[in-house]
């Protein structure tokens, strides 16, 4: 597989905050700990400490969560003080969702491998943090396969990881392809979390990837001191707001907005915000649940699993319960982590190294041959479709499609006509200028007609050009944000292995992977 590379800034697809981070801009250095280079992990390893008791809780939790699977990783390595994790996270999109989720997992696996090569005295475990507590069902209920969209409709509510996936049986009847792995995952497991763990383990378990469901009482108990402080002192909102204001003053658009209390109340079919009222009581929004401070703290002690961190505290929760060194995120995640460093400092928790995930386009052999035949560069592929078509036609025409020279000659004549008319009667200026404008419009219409005629002359090349563009940018967006990995995996069972071999976790460029 041939690979070509393009700076992310040349794609026009990423925010200035993200681009400035990956280029190590000086003005952003106070918003993170260490820049993601292989050398930075030496100091990160020295800074990160993780006690034996936490390691045991983590291992016990993973053993319990994996107990029904036929094969599972050896979790005992996580008890060792020289073992650390590198983590990515995402929602439980059905059938894995868009390609970029797979790319996040592959980047994480490859980072663990690279670190083992560089630091052989340590062990590195890649972790997939399953966002089981997320309740935005609309984010995860659909996927695209072979250009067709499929969606799961349900009346279930609350944390998506707790939802029963049996309803997906209806969706399988609509999909022409036989998807045995996902039938096994969804129709033989009782929660979406268990389903996702099953198929991710089947796809990447052999690569050492571990799935963690943090919707767990034992893990929440480790994080309970922070949640108690959030309920009683509410420090995180002020800290994040200060950072957010600073970033906005630097000219950046920020991603997240903190709440006064950055915790949800979590129960079956329910995940709602907790708000503190003027009388000092706590209300669970959109419910009749109401607590005094004493009642709420007692509930936290007895049932920490009833509390769920939001986007502000989830990263801190992750770093509290894992011996983690790095977080692998996308172009929206890395920016919001930059808003959170002061929260980590407040709770004396090392800030992980922020690693951008790998970015890629998988170019099928058909599109690869067309790109070669059409002589397209990676930069051209990211142009606007109309601009690309215009450039292509201009490059391949044997004719001149503009009247530039003719316009210069005629404009001189029109200037002379205007001058003569003004000499006779200055009021004639408006009439001459109106005629001049009509003439210019007529020339522009003629140019458009000539261009359309030339596009018809180059119909075959233009059609192939648009086919490539539609293949790589389905629905006008990036392939990795639209297509599912099955689009390629069903035709090539080596697809995942090819991407594992192609990706370098420290290469922050767009990668075009051209199939032979």
In this model, does residue 401 exceed pLDDT 80?
A: no
Q: How confident is the model at residue 403 (pLDDT cuts 50, 70, 90)?
A: low
Q: Tell me, yes or no, whether 171 lies in a domain.
A: no
DSSP per position, 39-95? THHHHHHHH----HHHHHHHHHHHHHHTTTSSS---GGGGGSTTEEEEEEEE---GG
pLDDT in tens, 76-100: 999 999 999 999 999 999 999 999 9
Partnered with residue 7 across adjacent β-strands are 509
Report yes or no: 373 and 464 within 8 Å, Cβ to Cβ. yes
What is the model's pLDDT at position 412? 81
β-bridge partners, 353: 326
pLDDT above 90: residue 515:
no
Say what the pLDDT of residue 444 is.
76
Q: How many CB atoms lie within 10 A of CB 445?
A: 10
**300 close to 231: Cβ distance less than 8 angstroms:** yes
Question: If you average pLDDT over residues 23-30, what whole number do you get?
Answer: 96
**How far lies 334's CA from each of 254, 407, 433, in Å?**
11, 51, 55
Q: What is the pLDDT of residue 397?
A: 64
Question: Is 321 in a helix, a strand, or coil?
Answer: helix
DSSP classification of residue 327: E
pLDDT digits (tens, 9 = 90+) for 262-319: 999 999 999 999 999 999 999 999 999 999 999 999 999 999 999 999 999 999 999 9
> Distances from the Cα of 382 to the Cαs of 8, 20, 478, 479, 511, in angstroms?
11, 20, 9, 12, 12
Is residue 372, in this structure, part of any structural domain at all? yes
pTM: 0.90
Which domain range does residue 448 map to? 365-480
Q: Which residue has the higher pLDDT, 286 or 390?
A: 286
φ/ψ bin of 270: left (φ > 0), alpha (ψ from -120 to 50), beta (otherwise): beta
Does residue 428 carry a pLDDT above 80?
Answer: no
Report d(CA 330, CA 508) in Å as an integer. 11
Q: Is residue 491 part of a domain?
A: no
Q: What is the average pLDDT across 99-110?
A: 98
Query: How does pLDDT run across 32-82, given as a tens digit for each residue?
Result: 999 999 999 999 999 999 999 999 999 999 999 999 999 999 999 999 999
| Percent of the chain surpassing pLDDT 70 | 96
Q: Is residue 357 part of a domain?
A: no
Residue pair 59/196 in contact by the 8 Å Cβ criterion: no
Structure confidence at residue 99 (pLDDT): 97
Residue 396 lies in a domain: yes
Is 75 a member of any domain? no
Is 504 part of any domain? no
Element (H, E) at 43: helix 40-47
Check residue 409 and give its pLDDT. Answer: 75
Tell me if 386 is assigned to some domain.
Answer: yes
Q: How many domains does the chain have?
A: 1
Task: Quickly state the pLDDT bin for 164 (edges 50, 70, 90).
Answer: very high
């Amino acid at each position: 597989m041939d690979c070509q590379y393009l700076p992310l800034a040349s794609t026009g697809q990423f925010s200035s905050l993200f681009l400035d981070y990956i280029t190590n801009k000086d003005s952003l250095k106070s918003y993170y700990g260490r820049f993601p280079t292989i050398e930075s992990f030496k100091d990160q390893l020295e800074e990160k400490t993780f006690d034996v008791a936490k390691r045991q809780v983590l291992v016990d939790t993973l053993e319990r969560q994996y107990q029904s699977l036929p094969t599972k990783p050896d979790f005992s390595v996580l008890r060792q003080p020289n073992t650390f994790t590198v983590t990515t996270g995402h929602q439980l999109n059905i059938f894995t969702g868009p390609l970029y989720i797979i790319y996040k997992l592959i980047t994480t696996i490859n980072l663990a491998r690279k670190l083992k090569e560089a630091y052989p005295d340590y062990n590195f475990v890649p972790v997939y943090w399953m966002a089981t507590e997320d309740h935005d069902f609309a984010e995860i209920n659909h996927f695209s396969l072979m250009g067709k969209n499929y969606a799961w409709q349900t009346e279930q509510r609350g944390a998506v990881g707790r939802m029963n996936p049996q309803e997906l049986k209806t969706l399988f009847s609509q999909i022409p392809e036989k998807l045995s792995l996902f039938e096994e995952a969804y129709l033989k497991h009782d929660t979406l979390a268990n389903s996702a763990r099953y198929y991710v383990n089947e796809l990447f378990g052999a690569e050492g990837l571990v799935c963690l469901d943090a919707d767990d009482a034992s893990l929440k108990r480790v994080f309970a001191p922070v949640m108690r402080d959030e309920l009683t002192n509410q420090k995180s909102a002020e800290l994040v707001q200060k950072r957010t204001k600073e970033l906005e003053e630097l000219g950046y658009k920020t991603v997240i907005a903190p709440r006064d209390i950055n915790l949800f109340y979590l129960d079956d079919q329910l995940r709602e915000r907790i708000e503190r009222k003027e009388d000092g009581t706590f209300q669970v929004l959109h419910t009749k649940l109401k607590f005094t401070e004493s009642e709420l703290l007692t509930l936290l002690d007895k049932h920490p699993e009833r509390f769920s961190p939001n986007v502000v505290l989830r990263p801190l929760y992750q770093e509290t319960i894992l011996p983690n060194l790095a977080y692998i995120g996308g172009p929206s995640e890395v920016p919001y982590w930059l808003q959170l460093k002061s929260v980590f400092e407040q709770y004396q928790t090392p800030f992980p190294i922020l690693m951008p995930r790998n970015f890629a386009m998988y170019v099928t052999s058909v599109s690869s041959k067309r790109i070669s035949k059409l002589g397209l560069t990676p930069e051209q592929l990211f142009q606007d479709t109309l601009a690309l078509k215009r450039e292509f036609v201009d490059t391949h025409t044997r004719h001149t499609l503009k009247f530039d020279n003719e316009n210069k000659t005629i404009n001189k004549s029109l200037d002379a006509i205007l001058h003569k008319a003004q000499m006779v009667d200055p009021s004639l200026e408006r009439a001459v200028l109106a005629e001049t404008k009509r003439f210019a419009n007529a020339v522009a219409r003629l140019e458009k007609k000539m261009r359309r005629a030339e596009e018809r002359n180059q119909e075959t090349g233009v059609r192939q050009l648009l086919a490539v563009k539609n293949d790589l940018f389905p629905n006008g967006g990036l392939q990795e944000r639209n297509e599912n990995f099955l689009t390629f995996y069903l035709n090539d069972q080596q697809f995942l292995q090819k991407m594992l071999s192609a990706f370098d976790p420290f290469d922050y460029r767009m990668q075009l992977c051209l199939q032979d």
